[in-house]
Structure 1
C-alpha cells in the first residue's frame, strides 16, 4: 500500500516521499539512479540526492526501481514504440509508390495473389487485405539498431523530482487536496482520490468537500471504515449508492444497482431521512433523478424501516405519489410569465450559483433597463455566496460576450470534452452591463484571494488557462488546461500516438492538418499522405494486440501554413474509452539530434486519450506574425463517424472548430496574478536562476530548487488550489 501511495504522490506532485531505511553509503547508487532518470528526462533535486546518498544501497536501488517505473509511465516510455518504416523519418516512400510495392508483394505471395487479382479486376483495392500492409515488418530491436544515439541538447526537457515529507504525510496532503478541490476532478484523478480515500478516510478530513462527485468517493471510503457518510442533499445519498454499485457518481450514465447489505441500506436510509427531516424543501431535488431513485428504492426496501418516514417520502416523490414542485420549475414558471426580476430574486435568495449560471439568459430576457438593473443588483447581492470557480467561469463568459451577433461559430464543449459547433445567434450584452459585471466579479475574486506577502512569478505561466474544471485537461505529463497557450521552441516537432486494443482489432490513425490564416487547408500528413514538404508520417499500423505507435515528423521552418492541428482518428474497432491503453504526445528536437523515433528526454507533453467520439484533438499549433510557434491546448473530441474516420473527411469541421476556438479568450493565470499584485507586498519575476531567501508564493511551470521554508508553490499539478474558494 505504501508503494502504491508513493506512486500517486510522485505522479501528482513531482515529489518523492522521503525514503526510509537503514543508513549506509548509497551515494554511488543514488548517482546511478540520477543518471537513469535523466535518460527519461527527469532528475533528482540536490536535497533528494543527498538524502538518498545517506541510505543503504539496497534501499536506494528499491526506491530507484519503483520511481523509474512511475516516471517512465508518465512520459510514455513504459512501452516499446516501434515504427512501420524502420528508419523513420529517413526513407519514407511516396504514398502511391508504397502502395504499389505492397500490391507487388501481395501478387508475389501465392496465398494472397488470387484475392488481390479479383479486387484489381473490380477496380477497388482494400489495403487491409495486403499481407505487408499495416503490420510491423521488423522487431523493435531491429528498429533500434538502425538509429543513432540521441545527441543531448540544451533544450531537452528536464523535470526535477523534489524531496517530500514521509509517505504518510504526503499521501494525506494529497488526499486533502484532491478531496477538498474546488474544481471537478478528471476521471483519472477521481480514481486516484478513491485509492487515497481508503488510506485517509479515518484520518484528517478537508474542512469542506464542495464537489459532489468527490464527496461520493470519500463517503464510500468512510462507509467502509465504519465512519458516518457526509450528506447535506438527497443527491449525495444517490451518488453514494452509485459508488457502492461501481456506477457513475456523476449521474450522467445510469447505474445498475445491485443488492445491498443491511448495514449499507441502513446507512443510506438513515442519511436520507436526516437530510429531509432537516430541510423538507430538499425533496424538490428528487425529480431530477426520479428513475434512478425508483430503481434504488427496489434495493433499499424503505417500507421495512417505518422509523425513517422522511426517507420513505423520497421514494413517494420519485414514484409520483407525492407532488413536490422542483426549484427549477418555479424559476421556469416565473420566466414563462415574463417575470425576469422575480426569477432573479428567487435565484439570488435560494440558489445563487444557479443565478450566476443563468445570468446571460436573464439579461437577454429582461424587457428593459429596470429589469436589467434588478438582475444586476441580484448578482451583486449574491456574489459572496457563489463558489470562486463559478465566479471565475462567469467572468470568462462575460469577457467573451462582446461584439454584434452575426452567426459566428460558437464551440460547445460538454463535461466529457465532446465538442460541437453552432452559429452564435445571441444578441450581444450591453457594454455598460458587461463592464459592471466584470467589476463585480473581479472585486469578489480579489476579496477571496488569501495571498499576501511576496509573489515570485515565472512569466511562462501567465498564459496558462485557469483550471476551472479538471475535465478541461487530460491526465499526463506537461499537460495544460484547455485554452492555455505555451511557446514552442525547436526545429523539429514530432507527434506520437500509442494504443493497445483490449478485445477487438483496433486501428487508430495519427494525422496532422495544416491550415492557412483563413483556416483553409494547405496540406495534411496521414496514412494517405505519407510525405510532403512539411514532414513525414511513420506508416499505418492497423492492429495493436501488443500495442502500436505512429509518428509524424514536421520541420517547423518548412511548414507553409499558420496552424498545425494534430489529431487521432478511430478508423475501426474500439473507441478511446474502450482501448486498454491510449495516449498522444509531442516531442521537440534540434535539427541534428537524431535518436530513436521515441526519445523520452525530448517529450514535452504526453496525455491520455480517454473521451467520447471518434476524433481526438489534443492541441493545435499556431505561428504568430513574428514566425514564432505556440501550442494552443484543446483536449477535445468530435463525434466523427462509426468507422473509417480520416483527416480528409473532417477537415472542414476542424477548420470551423479552430475558427471558433481561436476567437475565444480564456481566463488565465495572468488575471489572478494581476489581482494578487494589488495586495502583495512585492512581486518578483523569476529569472530561472535565483530565488529570494524569504518565504514567497511561487507560481510557475516548475518548482525551483532552494525556495525558503514556508513558501507556497503553485505549478500546473496543483494550480486548482490557487483558485479562490
Structure 2
C-alpha cells in the first residue's frame, strides 16, 4: 500500500491494516513494535498484536517503521523540540536579569558593542540586536543530555492502535465517510478527501454528497478518471473549476484559474448549459460570485461555443448585461411590504434551509401573533427538507438566544476562526415562541436519529460539542470541536508550540494569560515575563530556519486565577498559513515526573496552527468551584496587528471575547443521546471494563477493544457521522 495512504488511514481511524501474506513468527518484532509505540504514548491492541505475531518478522518491521512515523507525527514527535533554557523548567532566570546578562555579553562583543551602547540612552532596548538573545545557545543533543529519562506515571497517555480490515475496504469506507459527510470538512480533511477520491474513483461512490465543497473535490477526481461529474447548480460548476485549478472550493479565497484543455472547457460549458436550461432561476446564484465568474469566463471562452447559449447567459449575468432577480431580493420585497407570512411561504417552498437561517429575523419582524404563527407553521411544514446540521444549528442558536435588547452580548465566529463580540440589540423573542420552536426542532431531529437498541457512552463524551461544521476545529491529535469541554487531570500543565519558517525570518511567541473569576488579568507568562508564581516560560526564540519550539510550564495548584488562556502570537514574519509547519499542544505531567521538555507520552492534544489571523487561541482552561480544571475548546485565529503582537496588547480583547464564549452553550453529544433515549434506546454510561458480547453503539473519546462485530463506534475521528442527514 502507498505509504501516504497508510499514514492517512492511521491518522483518521487509528487502525492499521495488515496486508495478506504468509504466516511466520513475528512475535519478537511485534513486541519491539509495541514497546516503541509506547515511547510515543501508543500501544498495539491485543488483536493487532496477535495478528502481527503470526506474520514474518520482516513484514512486522516494515509495518512498524511506517506506523511509527505516522503516530509520532500525530503528536508532534516527528521534529526536534529544543528549548532556549537548557534546564527548562528548572533554573529559568528572572526576566530583567536575563536581559541584563544578554546586554553584558553584547558589550563584551566588539562587533555588537557600538550598536548596543547607543540604545539605553534613547530609552529603548532592541532585544533582537543582542547576539545572545533569541538563538539557541546549545544543540538539541546537549539538551537531551541535560535531562533525565521520563519517569513513568499511571497518568501518562496511552492511545490504542487497532487492527484494521483489508486495505481496500478501509480506504473505501473512509472515502465514503468523508465524501458523504453531512457537515463541511476542515482544511486537512478536505485535502485528504482529494487524495482518497483519486484513489477510489473506480470504486463504490456515496449515494449522496450533500456538502457542495466535498462534491467539488469528488467531481475533480471523477473528471480525471473519465467519469461524469455530479452537477446540479451553477455554483457546482464554479467550485469544480476551482478544484481543477487547485484553488479554494469553499470560494472564500480568490482562485487563479488555469488555462483549461478544450475537453474540460466543453464539459464545464455543457454542464452550465444543462443546469440553466433545466432551471433558469438558478441564474440568480451567479451574482454572489460575479467576479469569479468573470475571471472563469476568460478561460472558458463561452462565445466560441454557440451550441450552448444558456451557458453564455451565466457570464452575461456576471458582467451585468442581464438581470437575474435573486430569491433574497424577492424576500426583501415582501418584507418591505410587511408581508412576513408571504416571505416565510416563499422561503419554505423555494429554499427551506434559508427559511431556517432567517427564522430569528422573521419571528422578530412579524407584527403580531398571527404572523409568528405563520412562520412557525412554515417551519413545521418544510422541516423535513432541511439539512440535519442546519436544524441543529438553529436549535443551538435558540438555546443561546438572549433575553433581548441590551440584555447581553453576541459572539460571532467566522469560517476562518476570526471572532468578535457586539452588544445584543435584538428585541426578545416571546418565551412561548422559543419553547415551541425548540420542541419543533427537537422533534425533527428525533425523527431522523437512529434508535439503537443499546448505547454505551463514555461520560467524558457527553460534553463534546457536535461538529456542525468541520471548520469548528483544526487538524491534529486529541482535538475536539469548538465549544467542547473536557476534564484536565494532572498536576503540571505544559504548553508547547513549534514552527518552521518557509522563507522569511519568522518569530512566533507562546504566551499564557491568567484571569480571575471576573475575567480580570492576574498575570501572564511570555518572553516578557519568564517566571511567576504559576510557572515558567522556556525562553524566546526569534527565528526558525530549522524549526523552533517554545514551552510554558504551569503548576495548576499554584494558579491564582480561574482561567488560563494560552496564545500564540505572530511577532514577525510569516503568518500561520505561510509557515512550512506550525502547531500547538499541551501535555500533562505529575509533579515529580522528569524528562525532556517535550515527551510524546504526556501529550494530550496537538493542533495545527492555521488561519489568516496573527493571534491564535486554541483553547482555554477553567477551574470550577471544586477546584477541578477543564479545557474549553476555542479554535480561534484573531486578526491581531501586522507585527509585534504581544499578550499584553491583547488582554482586553481576549478577555471580552472569552467572557462571551464562556456564556454560550453548544449542542453536545449528550443532547443527541437524550433524544435517542427518549425514542427508546437503552443508554448506559460506560467507564471501562468488560464490553458487552452483543453489538452496541459506542460513543467515546477512544475506541475500546473487543467490541462485538456489528457494533457502531463513534469517536472524535468520525464524530461527524453522528449528525443526522
TM-score by length of 1: 0.99
**Structure 1: distance between partners of 2:313 and 2:507:** 51
SS in 2 for 1:231: coil
Q: Give 1:492-641 correspondences, 5 Å limit.
A: 492-641=492-641
C-alpha deviation, 1:246, in angstroms: 1.5
The answer (yes or no) to whether the contact 2:499–2:548 under 8 Å persists in 1 is yes
**Structure 1: distance between partners of 2:144 and 2:94:** 23
Q: Report Cα offsets for 1:52-88 as digits up to 9, x if no partner.
A: 1111111111100100000000000000000000000
The answer (yes or no) to whether the contact 1:2–1:167 under 8 Å persists in 2 is no
C-alpha deviation, 1:682, in angstroms: 2.2
Q: Report Cα offsets for 1:283-330 as digits up to 9, x if no partner.
A: 111122122112212211222222222212222222222222111111
1:666 alignment counterpart: 666
SS in 1 for 2:586: strand
| 2:234 is aligned with 1:243 | no
1:413 alignment counterpart: 413
1:485 alignment counterpart: 485
**Structure 1: distance between partners of 2:620 and 2:96:** 28
2:315 alignment counterpart: 315
C-alpha deviation, 1:22, in angstroms: 2.9
Say which is worse superposed, 177-186 or 398-407, in terms of deviation: 398-407
Q: Report Cα offsets for 1:584-618 as digits up to 9, x if no partner.
A: 00000001111110000000000000012111000
Q: Give 1:433-452 correspondences, 5 Å limit.
A: 433-452=433-452
Q: Give 1:245-324 correspondences, 5 Å limit.
A: 245-324=245-324
| 2:377 is aligned with 1:349 | no
2:8 alignment counterpart: 8
**Structure 2: distance between partners of 1:12 and 1:565:** 28
Q: Report Cα offsets for 1:392-442 as digits up to 9, x if no partner.
A: 000000001142432633221001111112122112211111100000000
1:430 alignment counterpart: 430
Q: Give 1:79-478 correspondences, 5 Å limit.
A: 79-406=79-406, 408-478=408-478
Gaps of 5+ in 1: none
Equivalenced residues, count:
725
**Structure 2: distance between partners of 1:604 and 1:428:** 42
**Structure 2: distance between partners of 1:17 and 1:416:** 35
**Structure 2: distance between partners of 1:685 and 1:18:** 33
**Structure 2: distance between partners of 1:217 and 1:642:** 33
**Structure 2: distance between partners of 1:290 and 1:473:** 30
**Structure 1: distance between partners of 2:517 and 2:585:** 24
| 2:718 is aligned with 1:724 | no
Alpha-carbon RMSD across the aligned residues, in angstroms, is 1.0
C-alpha deviation, 1:681, in angstroms: 4.3
The answer (yes or no) to whether the contact 1:515–1:564 under 8 Å persists in 2 is yes
SS in 1 for 2:716: coil
Q: Report Cα offsets for 1:674-702 as digits up to 9, x if no partner.
A: 01112344222212111110000001111
**Structure 2: distance between partners of 1:336 and 1:165:** 59
SS in 2 for 1:314: helix
C-alpha deviation, 1:352, in angstroms: 0.2
The answer (yes or no) to whether the contact 2:409–2:424 under 8 Å persists in 1 is yes
The answer (yes or no) to whether the contact 2:486–2:630 under 8 Å persists in 1 is yes
SS in 2 for 1:717: helix
The answer (yes or no) to whether the contact 1:42–1:159 under 8 Å persists in 2 is yes
SS in 2 for 1:23: coil
**Structure 1: distance between partners of 2:614 and 2:354:** 33
The runs of at least 4 aligned residues of structure 1 exceeding 3 Å deviation read: none
Gaps of 5+ in 2: none
C-alpha deviation, 1:212, in angstroms: 0.6
The answer (yes or no) to whether the contact 2:245–2:256 under 8 Å persists in 1 is yes
C-alpha deviation, 1:667, in angstroms: 0.4
| 2:694 is aligned with 1:694 | yes
**Structure 1: distance between partners of 2:317 and 2:511:** 52
The answer (yes or no) to whether the contact 2:587–2:604 under 8 Å persists in 1 is yes
**Structure 2: distance between partners of 1:407 and 1:675:** 31
SS in 2 for 1:508: strand
**Structure 2: distance between partners of 1:570 and 1:690:** 48
**Structure 2: distance between partners of 1:378 and 1:637:** 38
1:39 alignment counterpart: 39
TM-score by length of 2: 0.99
SS in 1 for 2:702: coil
The answer (yes or no) to whether the contact 2:402–2:424 under 8 Å persists in 1 is no
C-alpha deviation, 1:107, in angstroms: 0.5
**Structure 2: distance between partners of 1:421 and 1:573:** 28
**Structure 2: distance between partners of 1:308 and 1:561:** 67
The answer (yes or no) to whether the contact 1:508–1:568 under 8 Å persists in 2 is yes
The answer (yes or no) to whether the contact 1:454–1:680 under 8 Å persists in 2 is no
The answer (yes or no) to whether the contact 2:404–2:424 under 8 Å persists in 1 is no
**Structure 1: distance between partners of 2:606 and 2:491:** 19
